[in-house]
Structure 1
Amino acid sequence: MSWDTWREAQYHKRAQISWGISLGAVLVTVFALWFAGLNHLIRLSDTQGDAIAVKLGSPDGENVPLKVNPIPDPAFVPEQSVSSVSEAVSQPPLPKAQTSKVTSSKTQTPSEPKKVQTPPQPQQQVRVVKGSETGNSMETIFQGGAGHVGRSLYVPIYLYMPLPTRLSPSLIAKIPDSQDGFETAQQRKDELLAFYRREGGLWRLTAQPPFESRPRLWLSLQDAGYNLADAEYKRGNTLTPVTLSFTLSAPHNGQPPVLLKVTLDRSSGNSEVDAAVLYGFRMSAFANGTGKDAQGLFTYDFDEK
């Protein structure tokens, strides 16, 4: 080997060693720097509750500390201030409110139930029915709620009045056959004279016929021309109007209403006339669509109005 060759080989050898030492120094330096930076970033403080710095994203990112809530020491019990306790005990009582204010506040408390105003009761409807018959007049006042109330069938009351105590033979002779053709004139005469007897020139009443027989007898006298407006029971007597108060039931199970109660409030002054008015009034039929009992007042006057 020549001198030049050996020297060139030594030169390359020394260059390689130099590069290896330089590279090793660089690696050591880099490792030392990396280790120092890592130790700085993840070093935990000895004090409890310090934040840990973490770099997110690029190495040049901003150090963002994580929030760590301090852990309370279970052995630590805060001492209660003696002065605050004593102040609470020694605090004077609140002054009493005036009675008038308390009363007014009670009346305004929302917890009290409000009085519910009941709707006004509907006024009772009043229906007045007036009429007249053979010189007499009548008035019926019906009181009830919503719905029709009245008399559906009227039976003339004069047909139940007391019969005349005396009749002339000429009047009896004028009795005709019945208008419906069911009775002859003689049959009607015999039926009427069954309650009379002949005394002198007149027929005198022996006894008042029952109420159920009176309508046919009065019709016979009416057909014969007897003046019903000037009937004997009205002559010589000052008859005052008869007043009846009554209670009418509501229909039940398809049955028509009935008179529950009829009271004689005012008399005519003649008991036989009062009885005739009571009987004739009860013979009528009534209607009641109010759904409840209805009250009424009936007046029978012996003057035609």
Structure 2
Amino acid sequence: MRTDLRLREDRKRAALSLALTVAIYLMVLLGFWITGLLRLEELSDVAGPVKVHLTTRGQQESPASPPRPLETPPPPSPAPTPLPTQPPAATPTSAPTTPPVPPTTRPAATTTPSTPPSPTPAVITGREEGNTYTLGFSEAAGKVGRSIYVPIYLYMPLPSQLPRFVGENMVKDLRSKALFLRYYQEAGGAFSLVEQPPLDDRPDLWDALKGAGYDIGQAEYRHRPGLRPVTIQFSVDSHTRGSTLLAVTLVSSSGYSDIDEAVLYGFSRATFFNNTERPIKGSFTYRF
């Protein structure tokens, strides 16, 4: 009897505990629901603009304008296609070591001696009292050349007529007076040539005429009609034989024998050198 009574009491307690637990859960849920109804909605939680209309009593509220549609953001740009990744390069496996091969000795290559460039022939140019000349050799400079030069115009034919002031200045110069009067004489207010002086006397007379005021650059012989350049060919002997001139030959004439003679004679007054063991050929051109 007592055991049955205890079981019934335990069941009542369990039923009461379950009922209390359910009642507590219902009260809690009811409280949350009531709290949600009474909660004030913050304006910041509403999306878009909010319009507040103030109306007087009895005035009907105007319907609210529909909300502005939200701006749809532009669709995102497609992501760049990733480049295919190359698989990592395979680590090269070391080749099996082979024993070193002893170097083979090659026969020394025979070098062909290079041919030296041909020497540039020596060429000398010059100018004297309106005339020009070109002197050339078949050998390079330094091996052959001219050591002493005598101006060729000093052996040219003297003018047939001289202005009076030039003749008077020549007579005043006591050093050249006798030589001058040997070949010139005064006639009709001017000085005329009596005879052409020999080649060896001409250098002194030309120097005196230049000092007396005569324009040698406009000498009478330079104005002869048809006057052409004079060309000479020659050879210079080897140094063992004194470097003397050999075979001086007139190749091109000026057209006047006395001028050709003067050029040949004046050219032969120069001194040449030749440091080789053989004769060296050359040419000389004199232009007016």
**Same fold flag (TM > 0.5):** yes
Structure 2 unaligned blocks of 5 or more: 1-111
Which of 128, 131, 156 is the aligned partner of 1:161? 156
Structure 1 unaligned blocks of 5 or more: 1-116, 178-184
Matched residue, 2:261: 275
Query: In the TM superposition, what whole-angstrom CA distance separates every residue of 1:64-118 from its partner, at most 9, and x where no partner exists?
Result: xxxxxxxxxxxxxxxxxxxxxxxxxxxxxxxxxxxxxxxxxxxxxxxxxxxxx9x
Q: How far did 1:196 drift?
A: 1.6
Which of 216, 223, 228 is the aligned partner of 2:204? 216
Aligned pairs for 1:80-95 (under 5 A) are: none
Which of 128, 133, 136 is the aligned partner of 1:133? 128
2:286 is equivalent to residue 300 of structure 1:
yes
What SS class does the counterpart of residue 257 from structure 1 fall into? coil
Q: How far did 1:121 drift?
A: 9.6
Which of 212, 222, 233 is the aligned partner of 2:221? 233
Q: How far did 1:124 drift?
A: 5.5
Matched residue, 1:206: 194
TM-score (norm 2): 0.57
Residues in 1 aligned to 2:255 and 2:141: alpha-carbon distance in whole angstroms:
37
Mark the CA change 1:176 to 1:131 in structure 2 (over 3 Å): closer, same or farther.
Answer: farther
| Aligned 8 A contact 2:139 2:280 in 1 | yes
Percent identity (aligned): 42
Matched residue, 1:197: 185
Residues in 2 aligned to 1:298 and 1:237: alpha-carbon distance in whole angstroms:
22
| Aligned 8 A contact 2:235 2:245 in 1 | yes
| Aligned 8 A contact 1:157 1:276 in 2 | yes
Matched residue, 1:291: 277
Aligned pairs for 1:1-305 (under 5 A) are: 123=118, 125-144=120-139, 147-175=142-170, 185-252=173-240, 256-302=242-288
Q: How far did 1:269 drift?
A: 0.9
Q: Tell me which amino acid in the other structure corresponds to 1:197.
A: Q
Q: How far did 1:144 drift?
A: 2.1
CA RMSD of superposed structures (Å): 2.4
Mark the CA change 1:146 to 1:224 in structure 2 (over 3 Å): closer, same or farther.
Answer: closer
What SS class does the counterpart of residue 173 from structure 1 fall into? helix
Residues in 2 aligned to 1:121 and 1:145: alpha-carbon distance in whole angstroms:
13
Query: In the TM superposition, what whole-angstrom CA distance separates every residue of 1:211-260 from its partner, at most 9, and x where no partner exists?
Result: 1110000000011111111100112423111000001101126xx31101
Aligned length: 177
Residues in 1 aligned to 2:226 and 2:176: alpha-carbon distance in whole angstroms:
32
Q: How far did 1:122 drift?
A: 7.4
Q: Tell me which amino acid in the other structure corresponds to 1:278.
A: L
Residues in 1 aligned to 2:248 and 2:118: alpha-carbon distance in whole angstroms:
24
Q: How far did 1:188 drift?
A: 0.5
Residues in 1 aligned to 2:211 and 2:140: alpha-carbon distance in whole angstroms:
43
Mark the CA change 1:287 to 1:148 in structure 2 (over 3 Å): closer, same or farther.
Answer: same
Residues in 1 aligned to 2:234 and 2:115: alpha-carbon distance in whole angstroms:
26
What SS class does the counterpart of residue 239 from structure 2 fall into? coil
Q: How far did 1:200 drift?
A: 1.9
Matched residue, 1:73: none
What SS class does the counterpart of residue 157 from structure 2 fall into? coil
| Aligned 8 A contact 1:146 1:290 in 2 | no
Moved more, 161-170 or 133-142: 161-170
Q: Tell me which amino acid in the other structure corresponds to 1:129.
A: I
What SS class does the counterpart of residue 162 from structure 1 fall into? coil
TM-score (norm 1): 0.54
| Aligned 8 A contact 2:121 2:141 in 1 | no
| Aligned 8 A contact 1:246 1:263 in 2 | yes
Mark the CA change 1:151 to 1:123 in structure 2 (over 3 Å): closer, same or farther.
Answer: same
Moved over 4 A (4+): 119-122
What SS class does the counterpart of residue 251 from structure 2 fall into? strand
What SS class does the counterpart of residue 285 from structure 2 fall into? strand
